[in-house]
Structure 1
Amino acid sequence: MPRITVDVESTIGSSIGRHGGPGAGMRDAPGRAGGWPVGEGRVEDTLDTEGRCVRTMVLMQEPARPGDEVSAWPVAVLHLSDGRHDLDEVVCVAEAEPFVDLVDTTDLGRRHAEPAAWAAVLGRLSPGSAYRVTGCGSRREADRLVADARHTYLQLTGCME
């Protein structure tokens, strides 16, 4: 799995993760209620088909602060629509011990991290937007999206080797 660095722009609490997964209770902080925080951000040095950096959501540990750079790996890609615009958002997990067992879309259900849960988090991170999930792609699709966007960036900047 290729690692990426997510520049976190905003964070929010979620219901994702604290309710399941093998040994989840053993790895969770004592007395912690709710789920893991989710950050929304972008992958630097990438350009998508709209000419913007690839958008990401990352499941991460506390402290979760805007402005942090989080080393993560993609596990899925959400295909979203608000009725006017379509959007692909790469779903990532931080490169941290509590998330080592999350490597693809099939693993997300064990942590109550189905596509609808991610869409709900995105709706809270982006007030005024009403995205609905139109599809969910695999880790392989997410990896390809990031790789293609990085290649586009390198071509445009003349940094191809």
Structure 2
Amino acid sequence: MEFDVVIEIPAGSRNKYVMDHRLGRIRLERMLFTATSYPADYGYIPDTLAADGEPLDAMVLLDTPAFPGVEVTARPVAAYRHQDEQGLDVKILCVPAGDHRYAGVRDLADVPAERLNEIGHFFDVYKDTEPGRHAEPGSWCDRRAAEEIIAADRRRHAESLADAGK
């Protein structure tokens, strides 16, 4: 399975950028209140609709950070599921498709444990000092589960368009 991920936030950033889907522009939403930075390039998978009403979140492991608005063709290797103030929050972990350096990274077990711990820790604590926001520790699931989540969120997106009469 391959798809595009639109990058909103480059790895290493403390700025939280979000796509304004109505205007088609990327906005600075806030600076993270914690002394942490995004551990991977972060964005979303177009034409999906997650349970929170937004496109499905995705991270891409790149050797050099991308720029906001860049589309990266990627493939999923895992998903991180946790709870935040809005309920279930899922992040799909991806690698760039066609990049031979990631050819051996096909599933959760292929990602170094240290990298998974770093990413999980970030999402567990990055809201800790923000008033009214919180995140509960989560857990990782494998590529198959990630692909099932993507497929379900693509169906939800298609159904929302049909319901809207588009």
TM-score by length of 1: 0.70
Higher normalized contact order (CA 8 Å, seq sep 6+, divided by chain length): 1
Provide the C-alpha distance between the structure 1 equivalents of 2:46 and 2:63, rounded to a whole number of angstroms.
Answer: 21
Superposed CA RMSD: 2.7
Secondary structure of 1:12's partner?
Answer: coil
Q: Return the offset for 1:120.
A: 3.8
Shift of the 57–9 alpha-carbon distance from structure 1 to 2, 3 Å rule, reads same
Encode CA deviations 1:101-135: one digit per residue, 9 max, x unaligned: 1111110127x322x21124447987846645321
Structure 2 counterpart of 1:32: none
**In the alignment, which of 137, 142, 150 is matched to residue 133 of structure 1?**
137
2:73 paired with 1:68:
no
Structure 2 counterpart of 1:56: 58
Provide the C-alpha distance between the structure 1 equivalents of 2:126 and 2:60, rounded to a whole number of angstroms.
Answer: 12
Shift of the 11–121 alpha-carbon distance from structure 1 to 2, 3 Å rule, reads farther
Structure 1 counterpart of 2:10: 11
**In the alignment, which of 75, 78, 81 is matched to residue 79 of structure 1?**
81
Provide the C-alpha distance between the structure 2 equivalents of 1:151 and 1:84, rounded to a whole number of angstroms.
Answer: 21
Does the aligned pair in 2 maintain the 1:12–1:125 contact within 8 Å?
no
Provide the C-alpha distance between the structure 1 equivalents of 2:123 and 2:41, rounded to a whole number of angstroms.
Answer: 9
Q: Return the offset for 1:100.
A: 1.1
2:153 paired with 1:149:
yes
Where in structure 1 are there 5+ consecutive unaligned residues?
15-36
Count how many residue pairs are aligned between Structure 1 and Structure 2. Answer: 134
Amino acid at match of 1:119: G
Q: Relative to structure 2, which stretch is displaced further, 124-133 or 67-76?
A: 124-133
Where in structure 2 are there 5+ consecutive unaligned residues?
14-38
Provide the C-alpha distance between the structure 1 equivalents of 2:4 and 2:74, rounded to a whole number of angstroms.
Answer: 6
Provide the C-alpha distance between the structure 2 equivalents of 1:87 and 1:69, rounded to a whole number of angstroms.
Answer: 22
Shift of the 124–97 alpha-carbon distance from structure 1 to 2, 3 Å rule, reads farther
Provide the C-alpha distance between the structure 1 equivalents of 2:150 and 2:48, rounded to a whole number of angstroms.
Answer: 7
Shift of the 122–66 alpha-carbon distance from structure 1 to 2, 3 Å rule, reads farther
